[in-house]
Amino acid sequence: MSARWKQTATSEELLNRAVQNFKATFNVEPAGVYSAPGRVNLLGEHIDYCGGTVLPFALPQRTFAAMAPRADGQVRAVTAQGDAGAAASGGEVKSVALAEVEPGKLSGWLSYVAGVPWAMEQESLGSLGTLGADIAIDSSVPLGAGLSSSAALECSVAVGFDDLLSATDSSRERLADTDSGRAALATACIRAENEIAGASTGGMDQSISLRAQQGAVLAIDCRDFSVKPLTIDVDSAGLAILVIDTRAHHNLSDGQYAARRASTEVAREALGLSSLRDAFSGTPTLAAAENLLADWDSRVESLNLPDSVDRGVIRDALHHVWTEIARVEECVALFSGGSVSAETWARLGELLNGSHDSLRDQYRVSCPELDLAVDAARVAGALGARMTGGGFGGSAIALVPSNEVEYLAESVAAAFEKADFTQPEFLVATPSGAAGKEG
């Protein structure tokens, strides 16, 4: 069974397409073109909103936004990946007055676009006044694949508005010129997604899209969003990270993600913690996580939990969150010591496996397609595999020997054909750079 490899446009092609779409739609040249990457999360799923550390890296696949300022406070936008899959040379123009943007008012992709300048003003990152923008969007980040297409869209627009604001005010420094400024832009994008788009996000996706470093995995401590680059050099080890897009599309605004997050909030409030990460008194380990669970079991009846809460669901959520936090800490330690051996890579594979098993069995955010992708990859020789992203569909990743990538992809494709699932698509992930101005 031959594997289907994702055919995505190059950055140069996307830039040119975005510019041509902009000119065809708005009859003027754009003032600038901005891009932001999608991401893969190596390890640390569903713990960004619990104060854990996560290990994402940026993908080469990017979203491009060609933009020009307007003086009437309107945002007019067109996308080559619209709700109905509009063609790159046209498509429906959607518009909104920024003064009218507020939570609950917008839906669809325009909410991710217009929510960004709204959130930037809410965060005091710039006074928009009557500034608006015409925007043409094009992207190679797969939609609904769990690779953070929404954050790539938000972050490309954020660096664009950051640039337009500074162009109209010579005293304002571009936030994108510093890491602290990029962290502030990420905060605005998080607000845009949570409050305007209505899709719950913990902030990992926006942080990596704006703060990624070429060739590095970024350890992001989600308590304060401090970052530490990690060199996890799979190429030198003769390995590769294979992304398997199951093409079982997910939608994080449908309530399931929010329900899982709500269960962790119930536990956090019952324990009186600022974050579930703070339950650990020292460095998180798997043994310490088991001790925390035993302590929870001994105290659960005395805790002030709402009667409507399923205590088993809460316990399972804690099991995933605490063990996942510990898995990430172990991974960071493995790749912070200098020497990396075959045993190090084997242990990383085990951590990936443990993460997926927990997401499937305790957090219950997997699905049959993701489970089959992971199981088939493991059987075919992957050192480890797991779902990546919010779940309920989307993508899995597998750590595989470089010389077996094709065989492993074909094995997964054959398993999908046997199960009568839609054929998956594959790409090899390489850590890439952050959002920025392209032209």
What residues act catalytically?
205
Sign of CA dihedral 217, 207, 41, 288: positive
* DSSP annotation string for 115-133: HHHHHHHHTTS---TT-EE
Pairing of strands 132-139, 74-79: parallel
Q: Which helix (H) or strand (E) holds 40?
A: strand 32-41
Which residue in 255, 301, 292 sits closest to 273, CA to CA?
292
Q: Kindly report the backbone phi and psi dihedral angles of residue 204, in degrees, each rounded to the nearest multiple of 5, phi listed first.
A: -60, -45
* Residue 103 amino acid letter: P
Chain-centroid distance, C-alpha 136:
22
In the chain, count H helices and then E strands.
11, 14
| Dist CA 370 CA 410 (whole Å) | 16
239: how many CB neighbours lie within 10 A of its CB? Answer: 22
Q: Kindly report the backbone phi and psi dihedral angles of residue 57, in degrees, each rounded to the nearest multiple of 5, phi listed first.
A: -145, 155
Tokens 């990457």 -> residue: 37
393: how many CB neighbours lie within 10 A of its CB? Answer: 24
Alpha-carbon distances, residue 250 vs 111, 245, 389 (angstroms)? 18, 11, 10
Taking the CA atoms of residue 36, residue 40, residue 42 and residue 43 in that order, the dihedral angle to the nearest 10 degrees is: 90
Alpha-carbon distances, residue 438 vs 12, 62, 171 (angstroms)? 9, 11, 23
| Dist CA 326 CA 351 (whole Å) | 10
Backbone dihedral region for residue 271 (phi beyond 0: left; psi -120 to 50: alpha; all else: beta)? alpha
